[in-house]
Amino acid sequence: MLTLRSLVAVTATTCLAVGASASDAPDWEDQTMSSTFNVADITVTNGMRVDFNCFMTLPPSLVCSGYAYVDNPSTPCSSNKVLMLKDITANFDFAGTIGPQTDLVMDFGEYGGNINLAINGVPANFHNFIDIHGAVIGGVTVNVISGGYGNDCGTVEFLGTIQGMRIGGRDMWIDGAGISSACEYGYGDTYLGDIEIVGDIFSSQDIQYEMLDFQWSNLNWTSGGFLQVMNVGAACSTGNELWTNNINLAFNFAGSTGAMENVGWSFGEYGGNINIEINGDFRNVDNYIDLHGSMIGGVLFEVTSGGYGNDCGTVELTGIVDRLVVGGQEHSIDCLVGDVALAAATGDLDGDGAVTGADLALLLGRWMTSDPDADLDKNGFVDGADLAMLLGNWN
């Protein structure tokens, strides 16, 4: 397992810093599966023109017999449709269609051969994405957020204004990123170096946090861990992050901002096991990827990048989250995102913006069921506690 001292060196090479904000690259969800493109073909995705060109190998030799196609490889780095590139390049005409793009984020998979990249007309030809980490191409800085060493998948961001981009590979895929690198709830209001222990409670950007015991992989519990505010890029991010060492961090959404939906965060895991609890449903696993695709507390848990151990990545949750608990032995959290789920937080079951008799009728109609919308306190069934919450927000 890594120490805090060695972590700084590791993150410099395996978990590189994310910029302040970025836009997702165009995805391929509007394309038909298995659609195939050859050199000189043109398609339009998300309103943007894409044309296909020849590919330059290493050593340099022009190949014009390659092809591209739309696929869904269901890798940990992307669960959506992607564009597969086989000895071909795709040219994205941003300026001529949807307009110049700023600070673009893109997921990729690279599985053999070299890569062609041109930004704003300036070309580069290299073996793996990590080879151009930190490079400035066409006035745009390239940052490899995760992966990029070859035979892997990851995420790359392009910081600057992009008029056009051409990208291709011998055996690779590209897609829009799953989570923007912008942090809705970062930890800039915390103090670098601060330490919290079990039983401590603190707030950041109106969300209340509580420190809890951690369960090791042998199922024994410890109360001797700590949380420390750090800034080493361990969670593939910049600025302050929360380092959890043998301790769990509880996000009390329902008791502070209100229940949340579309929750996500970035993480780094560098040794030991991981604890996750959503709406009272507790899990203890070796790595984040072990939970990919699981339903936990009525919420879908998806690992959108990383999660295999000794790496950093991102998570997305689909569903309403009242309470979230996350922790690890050598683990970092940053860049929380989410939207307040007003209906679940207030009892506005019909979504009209007020808690009235209509909402009361809906709740009573689901009395003593396990309906997730009317079960406001998420204890598994609709009862008097839920009725009290609804009446407490009556207007």
Closest CA to 94 of 175, 30, 43, 163: 163
Rounded Cα distance, 167 and 136, in Å: 16
Specify the DSSP class assigned to residue 148. Answer: -
pLDDT above 60: residue 358: yes
24-59 pLDDT per residue, tens: 456 788 889 999 999 999 998 877 889 999 999 999
Distances (CA, A) of 21 to 11, 78, 103, 105: 20, 20, 7, 9
pLDDT-derived band at 219 (thresholds 50, 70, 90) equals: very high
Q: Which two tokens mark 275?
A: 């604890």
Whether 298 shows a pLDDT value over 50: the answer reads: yes
At residue 324, the pLDDT reads: 97
Domain ranges of the chain: 16-176, 195-340, 343-392
As its CATH architecture, domain 195-340 has Sandwich (2.60)
Element spanning 159, H or E: strand 152-162
pLDDT the model gives residue 275: 98
CATH code given to domain 16-176: 2.60.120
Question: Is pLDDT above 80 for 114?
Answer: yes
How far is the C-alpha of 237 from the C-alpha of 391, rounded, in Å?
42
Could you write out the DSSP letters of every residue in 246-288? SEEEEEE-TTTT--EEEEEEEEEE-SS-EEEEETTEEEEESSG
Query: 73-77, 215-219, 266-270: lowest mean pLDDT where?
Result: 73-77
Supply the DSSP string of 92-133, one letter for each residue: E-TTTTT--EEEEEEEEEE-SS-EEEEETTEEEEESSGGGGT
Give the pLDDT confidence score for residue 348 in this predicted structure: 81
Residue 233 region by backbone torsions, left for phi larger than 0, else alpha for psi between -120 and 50, else beta: left
Q: What is the pLDDT of residue 160?
A: 87
b/e burial code for range 59-71 (CB count within 10 A of at least 16 → b): eeeebeebebbbe
Tell me what pLDDT residue 7 has: 37
Query: What value does the mean pLDDT take over residues 132-137?
Result: 93
195-340: same fold as 16-176?
yes
Distance CA 53, CA 178 (A): 27
Q: How confident is the model at residue 102 (pLDDT cuts 50, 70, 90)?
A: confident
pLDDT of res. 38: 97
Q: What is the mean pLDDT of residues 118-138?
A: 95
CATH number of 343-392: 1.10.1330.10
Per residue in 279-297, pLDDT tens?
A: 999 999 999 999 999 999 9
Q: Is the pLDDT of residue 17 over 80?
A: no
> Which of 73-87, 109-123, 180-194, 299-313 has maximum average pLDDT?
109-123
